[in-house]
Amino acid sequence: MSVLAGLASAESMDDLVAGAKKEGALTIIAVPHDWCGYGVVVDKFKAKYPFLKLNELNPDGGSGDEIEAIKANKGNTGPQAPDVIDVGLSFGPSAKAEGLLMPYKVSTWASIPEHQKDADGYWYGDYYGVLAFEINADLVKKMPADWADLLLPEYKNQVALSGDPRTSNESIQSIFAAGLSSSGGKIDDAANAGLKYFADLYKKGNFVPVGGSAASIAQGTTPIVIRWDYLALADRDTLKGNPKIEIVVPKTGVVAGVYVQAISAYAPHPNAAKLWMEHLYSDESQLDWLRGYCHPIRFQDLVDHKKVPADVLAKLPPAENYEKALFPTLEQQGASKEIITKQWDSIVGANVQ
């Protein structure tokens, strides 16, 4: 292991590269190439550091799966041990508290907003979006405008979450957003109200207990899927009108979610992991995430320095869709995650496959 492996900040990229060459590999986890423009980001990393073998674990895993993978592979130096993770905001502090993370501050650290990073460098925000309805408009003729609409009989057997609400941050936040709407904006009540909302949705036969994806939307298995806007926008591009995809940001209960990056405390390849972080937080990768419809964490810094191309800005949704967006605090996310993950089975009882 390089002498740099335990430092919070790298002093020399040359030294990091030299250390990574000795390690020879990097293992990432839960990085789907169609998520947030990650495919381009991964390909550029491979081209930049061809001496590293890139192991990609469980591309469709949720945040909980990533944390469990670190725990399960303590001391394992093989390709099944993740070096880095990309998890929902609430998973960062909890993983730090459990001693699962290694601190590291990227060279662009100062341009990451203070409230979106751990002061000691154990985790830091990477991108964000808002929860929206992705809809197969060939099958759904009347567009729902808000969460309450999804309870109507015309949406029977049509509504799905993107994953298991017991482990998926995206689904946990979806339930919180629904509850924020049905509780009239009361943040402290949102988790319980969200569980009640989904229990009602399931009882009415509108909720389909299948993890929704672009494929299930296109096939008609889940004509309406609740997911991050950037994923829905990317699906719209991928499907190219077959079927036609509509994306609705609900009128109420608009919740923004921040994902964070971190390095495993047990990373077999710590220098390669830091190179990955430097790559992700470069101007180039931040703009690639934006082209993938995610708002990168350094977005305002890039705008302030006039580094965002006009054609990229023009493809983003109207700014007014985001005006009501709530950015839940860590405490609010932690409290809602606790309620939703532990009470989903008893209150809703749907086993999302």
Query: What is the spatial distance between Cα 343 and Cα 195, in angstroms, rounded to a whole number?
Result: 8
- 310 and 179 within one domain: no
Residue 5: predicted pLDDT:
47
User: Residue 2 — pLDDT band, cuts 50, 70, 90?
Assistant: very low
Structure confidence by residue, pLDDT tens digits, 183-234: 999 999 999 999 999 999 999 999 999 999 999 999 999 999 999 998 899 8
50-86 pLDDT, tens digit per residue, is 999 999 999 989 999 999 999 999 999 999 999 999 9
Instruction: Count up the domains in the chain and report the number.
Output: 2
Least reliable range by pLDDT among 111-115, 174-178, 271-275? 111-115
List the Cα angle 334/338/344 in 5-degree steps: 135
Q: At what angle do helices 38-48 and 270-280 cross, to 10 degrees?
A: 130
pTM for the model stands at 0.75
| pLDDT for 333 | 87
| Pairing verdict, β 245-248 and 224-228 | unpaired
Do 264 and 85 touch, CB atoms closer than 8 A?
A: yes
pLDDT at position 3 is 41
**Cα 67 → chain centroid:** 14
For residues 88 and 128, give the distance between their C-alpha atoms in angstroms, rounded to a whole number. 10
SS3 content of the chain, % helix, strand, coil (to 5): 45, 15, 40
The phi-psi region of residue 61 (left if phi > 0; otherwise alpha if psi is between -120 and 50; otherwise beta) is beta
- Provide the pLDDT for residue 242: 96
What pLDDT does residue 109 have?
96
Whether residue 306 is found in the same domain as residue 343: no
Same domain, 19 and 121: yes
**In this predicted model, what pLDDT tens digit does every residue of 109-141 receive, in sequence order?**
999 988 889 999 999 999 988 999 999 999 999
Q: pLDDT at position 1, please?
A: 42
Return the pLDDT at 4. Answer: 46
Q: Is residue 6 part of a domain?
A: no
Task: Name the pLDDT band for 46 (thresholds 50, 70, 90).
Answer: very high
Q: Do 97 and 138 belong to one domain?
A: no
49 phi/psi in degrees, rounded to 5? -130, 70
Q: Which residues pair with 105 in a beta bridge?
A: 9
Those residues with Cβ within 8 angstroms of residue 332's Cβ, 6 or more apart along the chain or in another chain: 187
Q: What is the DSSP letter of 35?
A: S
Residue 176: name the closest of 316, 352, 341 by CA.
341
* CATH code for position 211: 3.40.190.10
Within this chain, do residues 270 and 149 fall inside the same structural domain, yes or no?
Answer: no
Residue 303: give the domain boundaries: 13-127+257-317
The answer on 160 and 31 residing in a single domain is no
In this structure, is residue 181 part of a structural domain?
A: yes
Residue burial 318-334, b: 16+ Cβ < 10 Å; e: rest? eeebbebebebeeebbb
pLDDT tens-digit series, residues 9-41: 655 899 999 999 999 999 999 999 988 899 999
Average pLDDT of the chain, as a whole number: 92
Task: Note whether 251 and 267 are same-domain residues.
Answer: no
Backbone angles phi, psi at 164, to 5 degrees: -75, 120
What are the pLDDT digits (tens) for 225-239?
Answer: 999 998 899 899 899
- Indicate the length of the chain as a whole number: 353
Contact between 2 and 271 under an 8 Å Cβ cutoff? The reply is yes
- My answer on whether 196 and 329 are in the same domain is yes
